[in-house]
Structure 1
Amino acid sequence: MPLPFLTADRAFDTTDDVSLPHHDRESWRRPYRPGPWRVGAAALMLLLASFVLLAGVIIAATGSMSSAGVVFGLAAVVIACALRLLRMGTWVSAHGLRQVAFFTTRTASWPQVGSVRTVQQPVRWLGLPRTVQGQALVLARQGGGSGAVTPLLTTHNADFLARAEAFDRAADTVEAWADEYRRG
């Protein structure tokens, strides 16, 4: 079963040019591949879900269907969490820029985007409260205001930890999308 949210568009991986692919700009796409930390965490969660499902089958075979239902429900929650973890990241389309977090999704249409730029700043390490010095691709909304600057990608998140070249390529691609659509 193909999982389209796991793969990035091949045009983003094979060229050094940050030009945009000219096919299907209407659909949302992530301009980079999920990082090894994110994929590894999701794989561990799916492995845990397989053991929970096996336990549910064993419980169902012993005759306690209500307990088996609870265990199957727990496995479904773990699987849903793993899939949401894989879906997290920054997505772009002709409509705007979307930041998908675990519990929230924020979308900014291109007219709402003031600027998208890479800055050197303290960033959170793997989303934990600890901060380290790194780079972040930040979105400044049109009109400013409080909370107007949002980090979209960082060099120390689950997608780009120890992958500076991948961060640079993804940041350049998102900036290219922003430059093209903010002009138009």
Structure 2
Amino acid sequence: MPLPFLTADRAFDEAADDLALPYDDRDRWRRPYRPGPCRVGAAALVLLLASYVLVAAVVIAVAGTLNAATACLGGAAVAILSALRLLRMGVWVSARGLRRVGFFLTSTTPWERVAAVRTVQQPVRWLGLPRTVQGQALVLVRKARSPEDVPPLLTTHNADFLGRAEAFDRAADAIEVWADEYRRG
């Protein structure tokens, strides 16, 4: 059975190897890498929990307690929205700038305010937890008079690249190419 989404990924990987920007419509926000297995697995577990809560809501509704069924339905909706937000997290690029999507907060930096995007060796947080390990990070240097404490865009130990150093290198190179092209233009 052909799986067309796999061929699209291979075409993207081949284009990323050439450091070309593989998109025709550069005004659309795009993530230049695929979500990692840790992030996808966590979202799948949250969706599995949501399915159990939805079944519980149906059973409770059939039993006749409508308020409790509504509460379960609301809890399942929150779980589904959380899983979708978890999958959306990451770094997105377009011709307008660079966007960092977090779970609760999204920040956009226009290319005019970007001084540099570079890969550095530094202590990074392991899966976003307080524990730090030595790794690589893709950092954003802004054109500002006062230095702001900007967290790294990507790290080798976040949920997208844990155990996937080659994927981190490809993603960092792609984002650096976007930055180089649009900072000049």
TM-score relative to the length of structure 2: 0.92
What are the superposed Cα offsets for residues 5-24 of structure 1, whole Å, 9 maximum, x if unpaired?
xxx87653123111112401
SS at match of 2:147: coil
Identify unmatched segments of 5+ residues in structure 1: 1-7
The amino acid across from 2:36 in the alignment is G
| CA–CA separation in structure 1 for the residues paired with 2:115 and 2:10 | 28
Paired position in structure 1 for 2:126: 125
Note if 1:98 corresponds to 2:118: no
SS at match of 1:48: helix
Q: Is the 8 A contact 1:32 1:170 kept in 2?
A: yes
Instruction: From the superposition, tell whether residues 164 and 177 of structure 1 become closer, same or farther in structure 2 (CA, over 3 Å).
Output: same
Q: Give, in angstroms, the shift of residue 143 of structure 1.
A: 1.9
Q: Is the 8 A contact 1:9 1:29 kept in 2?
A: no
SS at match of 1:117: strand
Question: 5 Å matches for 1:33-112?
Answer: 33-112=34-113
Q: Structure 1 runs of 4+ off > 6 angstroms?
A: none
| CA–CA separation in structure 1 for the residues paired with 2:150 and 2:47 | 34
SS at match of 1:171: helix
SS at match of 1:49: helix
| CA–CA separation in structure 1 for the residues paired with 2:40 and 2:145 | 35
What are the superposed Cα offsets for residues 77-133 of structure 1, whole Å, 9 maximum, x if unpaired?
000000000000000000000000000001000001110000000000001110000
Paired position in structure 2 for 1:153: 154
Paired position in structure 2 for 1:12: 12
| CA–CA separation in structure 2 for the residues paired with 1:144 and 1:90 | 24
Q: Percent identity, aligned pairs only?
A: 70
The amino acid across from 1:133 in the alignment is Q
CA-based RMSD = 1.4
The amino acid across from 1:13 in the alignment is D
| CA–CA separation in structure 2 for the residues paired with 1:94 and 1:11 | 21
Q: Is the 8 A contact 1:96 1:109 kept in 2?
A: yes
| CA–CA separation in structure 1 for the residues paired with 2:150 and 2:34 | 24
Paired position in structure 2 for 1:140: 141
SS at match of 2:92: strand
Q: Give, in angstroms, the shift of residue 154 of structure 1.
A: 0.2
SS at match of 2:107: strand
Identify unmatched segments of 5+ residues in structure 2: 1-7
| CA–CA separation in structure 2 for the residues paired with 1:75 and 1:157 | 27
